[in-house]
Chains A and B, each alone.
Chain A
Amino acid sequence: DAGVIQSPRHEVTEMGQEVTLRCKPISGHDYLFWYRQTMMRGLELLIYFNNNVPIDDSGMPEDRFSAKMPNASFSTLKIQPSEPRDSAVYFCASSLSGAADTIYFGEGSWLTVV
Chain B
Amino acid sequence: SQQGEEDPQALSIQEGENATMNCSYKTSINNLQWYRQNSGRGLVHLILIRSNEREKHSGRLRVTLDTSKKSSSLLITASRAADTASYFCAPLNTDKLIFGTGTRLQVFP
Residues of A within 8 A of B (CB): 4, 33, 35, 42-43, 45, 48, 55-56, 91, 93, 98-100, 102-108
- Tell me if B44 counts as interface (CB < 8 A to partner A): yes
Chain B contact residues: helix, strand, loop or mixed: loop
Q: CA–CA, A4 to B100, complex, Å?
A: 22
Whether B95 lies near A99 (C-beta < 8 A) is yes
Nearest residue, chain B, Cβ from A3: B42
Nearest residue, chain B, Cβ from A98: B95
Q: CA–CA, A87 to B92, complex, Å?
A: 28
Whether A45 lies near B96 (C-beta < 8 A) is yes
Whether B96 lies near A42 (C-beta < 8 A) is no
Residues of B within 8 A of A43 (CB): 43, 88, 99
Nearest residue, chain B, Cβ from A110: B40
Q: CA–CA, A105 to B48, complex, Å?
A: 16
Q: CA–CA, A17 to B64, complex, Å?
A: 47
Instruction: Give the size category of B's interface with A.
Output: 20 to 34
In the complex with contacts A42-B102, A43-B88, A56-B96, A100-B42 CB distance below 8 A = no
Residues of A within 8 A of B48 (CB): 102
In the complex with contacts A42-B101, A43-B88, A99-B96 CB distance below 8 A = yes
B67 to chain A, nearest CB (A): 16
Whether B98 lies near A45 (C-beta < 8 A) is yes
Nearest residue, chain A, Cβ from B1: A45
Q: CA–CA, A15 to B42, complex, Å?
A: 26
Q: CA–CA, A99 to B98, complex, Å?
A: 9
Residue in A4, A42, A99, A104 whose beta carbon sits within 8 Å of that of B97 in the complex: A99
- Tell me if B69 counts as interface (CB < 8 A to partner A): no
